[in-house]
Each structure stands twice: as structure tokens, then as C-alpha cells.
Amino acid sequence: MQNGYTATARLGRVLDPDSGPGRRRLSRRPFTAAFGTLLLVLCLAAPAGADEPPGILNILSQFIASSTAASRCAEIDQDQMVAFLANQQTVYLRSTMALQDHRPDWTDEQIANVLKRAQEDIQSQVSAYIDEHGCDDRHARTLTELYAAQAKWRPGQAPPTDTE
């Protein structure tokens, strides 16, 4: 238990906006908690015996975390930002489709709300971590490097090899 809440209780609040007043105190753990937020949110909402949540949600959470860190700690040029946002949009759309398949009982609005609240949670966690540890922290640097790699990514193409 951290800060008076278990991880399940904190994430349960993401799914249930009426579960309590005010803002909760944020975790100070490194970014690994942020990467799993979307997956945990989905697991908490999934019916018993449901299949594992789609892996695309982990990728989306990484995009959100790296974008948050890069916007605070890196100089981003226009071309890099446009490429990153296009790739993030692709991942977001695939995440939405995966959630529709995984939770067919959810409406489009419910899916959008879960993704929005999870995004806000990840952004808050990353921002709080950077506030405490700064942009020179190795986790912050790793996320800004990930941002650059995600901007260079070309969906549908194999990654370059060392010989190219």
C-alpha cells in the first residue's frame, strides 16, 4: 500500500469517477507503473475468465508516458512532433478497436472515457516523477529517447537492421 491506497483502489477510481472526492496522492515510483496502467484498468473491468487484455494498450501507455516526458524535457522539432502524433493516433485507433473486441458490452463513449482517464493518470504519474527527480533522471531520459524512436517508427515496416 502506498499513500493510503492500494494499486487496485487507485485504478478502481479511474473506472468509477464517483468513488471518492478530490484528487488522490500520486505514486512516486518510476515509470513502470505508468506503463501498466491501461492494462490494469482493463483487467479490473474485465469479467471473470476473460482473455488477457490486448498488448496494444501497453504500447499506447508507452506513447503517453514518452510524450509527457518529452514535452517537459526535450526539444521537439515540428517534423518529429508530426511523425510522433501520427504514430500515436495509429496506436490509439488500434487500441480502441482492441477494446471493442475485448469488451463488446462497452459503448464507444465508455471506451473513450476509460482511455482518457488512463491517459490522465499516466500523465500525472510521469509529471509527478519528473517534478521530483528532474529531466536528468535516467527514467526521464529513457522516455525522451523512446519518444524519438516512436517518432521514427513506421507502422507496417520492419525495423532497420544493422546492415542497412
Among 125, 105, 104, 109, residue whose Cα is nearest residue 38? 125
pLDDT of residue 155: 82
3-state secondary structure at position 160: coil
Pair 88, 61: CB distance under 8 Å: no
pLDDT of residue 53: 59
Mention every residue, 6+ apart, whose C-beta is less than 8 A from residue 72. Answer: 127, 130, 135
- Grid coordinates belonging to 123: 500523465
Output DSSP code: residue 105.
T
pLDDT of residue 91: 94
pLDDT of residue 55: 85
Among 13, 97, 104, residue whose Cα is nearest residue 54? 97
Among 146, 122, 127, residue whose Cα is nearest residue 38? 122
Instruction: Give the position of cell 519518444.
Output: 147
pLDDT of residue 1: 36
- pLDDT, tens digit only, all 164 positions of the chain: 333 333 333 333 333 333 333 333 334 344 445 445 544 444 444 444 455 556 889 999 999 999 999 999 999 999 999 999 999 999 999 999 999 998 999 999 999 999 999 999 999 999 999 999 999 999 999 999 999 999 999 887 766 665 55
Residue type for 112, please?
A: A
Pair 14, 121: CB distance under 8 Å: yes
